[in-house]
Amino acid sequence: MTSSIEFAPGLTVQGITPPLNLRDFKLIAFDMDSTLINIECVDEIADAAGRKAEVAAITEAAMRGEITDYKESLRQRVALLKGVTEEHLAHVYRSRLRLNPGAAELVLACKAAGLKVLLVSGGFTYFAERLRDRLALDFARSNQLEIVDGQLTGRLLDQSWGDICDGAMKRETLLRTCSLIGCSPAQAIAMGDGANDLEMMGVAGLSVAYRAKPKVRAQAKVAIDMGGLDRLLELFKSA
């Protein structure tokens, strides 16, 4: 592993030599929970069921890479959400979910440079689709909670592409999106914080860890440990 260099306080790089040219890239892919946004949505939904501590412990272990079967860990957490109302999902979105600092600024800068923007998440469509519309993102893929009579059933719904968006599916989604827009994976940027982001980060030309778990930070070409997501722009030439 190439040794890392502190490019600026809270911003380290390894294996790259800034300044880079943002227009050399064609796609930026964001993880959602704790990357693009400030919360782990599943943990906040669990709060309504009085099970936040239990669910958050599983989430933390999964993100640190201590649970290798992400799909099973997600099914376990979703099962604990049974009976939570759709209104509580709306409350989480309205009252608890915030964009992380610099998120909107980075998205706008990337779009201005001609990049397409992908949100690919092990979280839920209820939030990902709202964020897609709010930020005018080009693509979004995430997991769909089953809701019957306004309540969560504790299950996930299969979608046309498969059952659960785990690390392998994040990687496949990034690769398929590159193919769709006619670029190589080397022209993609992938940003994440947890172990289930490592596979997509591994195939992208530029991998970025945002306030990430140690395992993720160690493998990323860029690590942002202080400040907002838009600190990534410090590595690129001015327009």
Distance CA(119)–CA(148), nearest Å, equals: 26
CA 74 – CA 122 distance, rounded (Å): 8
Q: Convert 70-82 to b/e letters by CB count within 10 Å (16 or more is b).
A: bbebbeebbebbe
- Residue 43 is among the residues annotated as catalytic for this protein: no
* C-alpha to C-alpha distance for 59 and 74, rounded to whole angstroms: 8
Euclidean distance between CA atoms 184 and 27, whole angstroms:
9
Active site residue 31: yes
Whether residue 33 contacts residue 170, with contact meaning beta carbons closer than 8 Å, is answered with no
Phi and psi for 95 in degrees, rounded to 5?
Answer: -110, -20
Active site residues: 31, 33
